[in-house]
Amino acid sequence: MDPSEMRLNAPRVPDPADAPALRWGILGPGWIADELTTSLRRTKQEVVAVGSRSSERASAFAARHGIDPAHAHGSYEALVADDLVDVVYVATPHSEHHEHALLAIAAGRHVLVEKAFTATAAQARAVVDAARAADVFCMEAMWTRFLPHVDVIRDALERGVLGEVLAVHADHGQNLWPVGPRRLADPRLAGGALLDLGIYPLSFAHLVLGELELRSVDGELTPEGVDEWVVATLAAAGSPGSRPRLAHVSTSMGVRTPTTASVCGTWARLDVDGDFYAPSQVRLVGNDGMVLGAWGRAAGTDHGGLRYQAAELARRVTAGEKESPLMPLDDSIHLMELMDAIRARL
């Protein structure tokens, strides 16, 4: 490659503020729903309704976000039946995503399902089949894939800036156990590090390498029987030639890790600051260690980036499309299959 081409280009991501407006209903008024709703205020999107099993929680959420009290529903069924709603954001725990996504789809609503998409691959296939049969838009809320710095990575890969990509390293660890949300320790609520945190490095590896095959797994279970930490090695499916393309991913809910990512090629690598899954900085580093270029800002968790996935959904729905090429439904199924296989080995 010409040395002048060894650079990082600016992202090609459209401004979320320019996406056509849809009317959103929030299913499950928890922390992540607060973050998305706050982020949507920076766009044309409208949050018009909320549903909870608790009328009090729905009313409190509506009051915080300026939603008409008449559209603060004390049941999920009432939310999905609200004709003001175009799209339902499923923000309940993973253990309930399957049931609640199907509920919204049956009501004819488009759906954005918080990651991890479901608790199992079988549930993921059921949701995808239902959405396709109902002819509604459906997408996993893997917000990382829609962020500007990830498009910088995607562009560099498309232009072959790194040479032959042979390795991906990504980790995500948070100090959330044993002190933290109780759902993370509860097998009945699909607890554990992998579904909540490990989905990020796994999805990143898939973004870079495509379909993956599981090679090895190590980890440790909590006394409650969910995964506290996981380390997995995967290979790109059908890797050509004799040089396998490998991904090394790790996750923990017991310690705070650097939460960084790297994409390594024969000419250069990309390093993504922690937290790599949030708006962050990407550096292009040559084999001699010299930084050849950088894009982005200092690392940090800025949930304002959630608006990018919402804007993607709004553009696709307005265009009459039923899924996003940036987070295809088959990708979500494949990732759930990998997480099933990892947990089975543990």
pLDDT at position 180 is 84
- Asked whether 315 and 16 are in contact (CB, 8 A), the reply is no
DSSP collapsed to 3 states, the chain: CCHHHCCCCCCCCCCHHHCCCCEEEEECCCHHHHHHHHHHCCCCCEEEEEECCCHHHHHHHHHHHCCCHHHEECCHHHHHCCCCCCEEEECCCHHHHHHHHHHHHHCCCEEEEECCCCCCHHHHHHHHHHHHHHCCCEEEECHHHHCHHHHHHHHHHHCCCCCCEEEEEEEEECCCCCCCCHHHHCHHHCCCHHHHHHHHHHHHHHHHHCCEEEEEEEEEECCCCCEEEEEEEEEECCCCCCCCCEEEEEEECCCCCCCCEEEEECCEEEEECCCCCCCCCEEEEECCCCEEEEECCCCCCCHHHHHHHHHHHHHHHHCCCCCECCECHHHHHHHHHHHHHHHHHC
- Asked whether 318 and 312 are in contact (CB, 8 A), the reply is no
Catalytic (active site) residue 322: no
CA angle (15, 19, 23) in 5-degree steps: 140
Q: What is d(CA 187, CA 318) in angstroms, rounded to the nearest whole number?
A: 39
Q: What is d(CA 255, CA 300) in angstroms, rounded to the nearest whole number?
A: 17
Q: Which two tokens mark 246? A: 């490998």
Q: Which two tokens mark 11? A: 């992202």
pLDDT at position 239 is 59
Q: Which two tokens mark 214? A: 């599981």
pLDDT digit of tens for each residue in the chain (346 aa)? 776 788 999 999 999 999 999 999 999 999 999 999 999 999 999 999 999 999 999 999 999 999 999 999 999 999 999 999 999 999 999 999 999 999 999 999 999 999 999 999 999 999 999 999 999 999 999 999 999 999 999 999 999 999 999 999 999 999 999 988 888 889 999 999 999 999 999 999 999 999 999 999 999 999 999 999 999 999 998 756 668 899 999 999 999 999 999 999 999 999 999 999 999 999 999 999 999 999 998 666 678 899 999 999 999 999 999 999 999 999 999 999 999 999 999 9
Q: What is d(CA 283, CA 262) in angstroms, rounded to the nearest whole number?
A: 9
pLDDT at position 2 is 73
pLDDT at position 182 is 86
Q: Which two tokens mark 46? A: 């409208």
User: CA neighbours within 13 Å on the CB side: how many for 139?
Assistant: 26
Pairing of strands 227-236, 212-221: antiparallel
pLDDT at position 254 is 96
- Asked whether 145 and 277 are in contact (CB, 8 A), the reply is no
Q: Which two tokens mark 86? A: 């175009």
Alpha carbon of 113 to those of 40, 137, 158: distances in Å?
16, 11, 28
pLDDT at position 243 is 83
Which tens digits make up the pLDDT trace of 120-155? 999 999 999 999 999 999 999 999 999 999 999 999
Q: What is d(CA 44, CA 18) in angstroms, rounded to the nearest whole number?
A: 7
Virtual CA dihedral for 13, 15, 18, 21, nearest 10 degrees? Answer: 80
Q: Which of the following is catalytic: 110, 115, 206, 307? A: 115
